[in-house]
Structure 1
């Protein structure tokens, strides 16, 4: 073992997957790339980390809703490019040829081409850490999506995509929540 810089800590424990979060301000759709996400319970709550540095943050806090979309690995370059421009001066849906689809429980759109989309309502905001706590109100899967690999940020400008899967359901059956 060799000691390395403290700044590399997050490259080993970066939460996953990278997501696209859509919002609607009443006039215009917007989308932001978020690499810090995680589930926090079995009651469909999740957390993403964002703040005033993201243009969509104001809309997210004002409307209290969004859609968390899980892009496939084949969308990586687009996902990164979406995160490199601001919705304050760019119509990201036009620039990146994104196809919005109607949601049912929120005004923000689903994104065609993603593996899945989770319609969400904001339930809490922990300002100190930029934690936005969301309650998933509806989930849709894209049955036409061929690439089911999710993208994971390493925190240093590099990414990985899901690879081999291992099925341990039988070993874990007594701990799995109903419905999974």
Structure 2
């Protein structure tokens, strides 16, 4: 074994696919790229995520307490990276990057038509926001695009490196 810099630990433990988080605040929709998230509970579905206070979306999420987590397939990877490399303070990311906002059913933040799944969420826990920028979200409504079959997701490995979903294996599970 060899020493690993602590700043590189996150590259080993990235839990899930890169997603897009949309908000709607002060009459304006925004979208950001996010990879620091994890499932917390199955029923109701709870997701914990970190939205840095330096991100434009932080103030919107804190104020409105709602968002959409949109899951893009690998074909959107170039746009996902562009979304993460610019700020909603300066541009309308939906318009500039050619994303189609769709109305959500339960909240004001938009779904993203190009993503294969969209989760309408409401913030249910904010005790760790001030210290860690960590929000806990409850998924209120989930959407899936039936046209996008077997989509492959991207997973961030750090410093512009991504991994695409690989081979699927099925193993017997004793869990219900």
Counterpart secondary structure, 1:20: strand
Counterpart secondary structure, 2:143: strand
Query: What CA deviation, in whole Å up to 9, does each residue of 1:23-73 have, x standing for no partner?
Result: 111411100111101101112000111122110111111111010000001
Matches within 5 A, 1:1-180: 1-43=1-43, 44-125=45-126, 126-127=128-129, 128-146=131-149, 148-168=151-171, 171-172=172-173, 174-176=174-176
Higher alpha-carbon deviation: 3-12 or 25-34 = 3-12
Higher alpha-carbon deviation: 125-134 or 98-107 = 125-134
Query: Following TM superposition, by how much is the alpha carbon of 1:105 offset from its aligned partner in structure 2, in angstroms?
Result: 0.6
Q: Which runs of 5 or more residues in structure 1 are unaligned?
A: none
Equivalent pair of 1:73/1:147 in contact (CA under 8 Å): no
User: C-alpha separation between the residues in 2 aligned to 1:87 and 1:45?
Assistant: 26
User: C-alpha separation between the residues in 2 aligned to 1:26 and 1:54?
Assistant: 16
Moved over 6 A (4+): none
Equivalent pair of 1:103/1:109 in contact (CA under 8 Å): yes
Equivalent pair of 1:122/1:132 in contact (CA under 8 Å): yes
Equivalent pair of 1:120/1:136 in contact (CA under 8 Å): yes
Equivalent pair of 2:25/2:64 in contact (CA under 8 Å): yes
TM (norm. structure 1) is 0.91
User: C-alpha separation between the residues in 2 aligned to 1:154 and 1:164?
Assistant: 18
RMSD: 1.3
Counterpart secondary structure, 2:16: coil
Query: Following TM superposition, by how much is the alpha carbon of 1:114 offset from its aligned partner in structure 2, in angstroms?
Result: 0.6
Counterpart secondary structure, 2:158: coil
Aligned residues: 173
Equivalent pair of 1:20/1:69 in contact (CA under 8 Å): yes
User: C-alpha separation between the residues in 1 aligned to 2:165 and 2:66?
Assistant: 28
Equivalent pair of 2:116/2:148 in contact (CA under 8 Å): yes
TM (norm. structure 2) is 0.93
User: C-alpha separation between the residues in 2 aligned to 1:124 and 1:155?
Assistant: 28
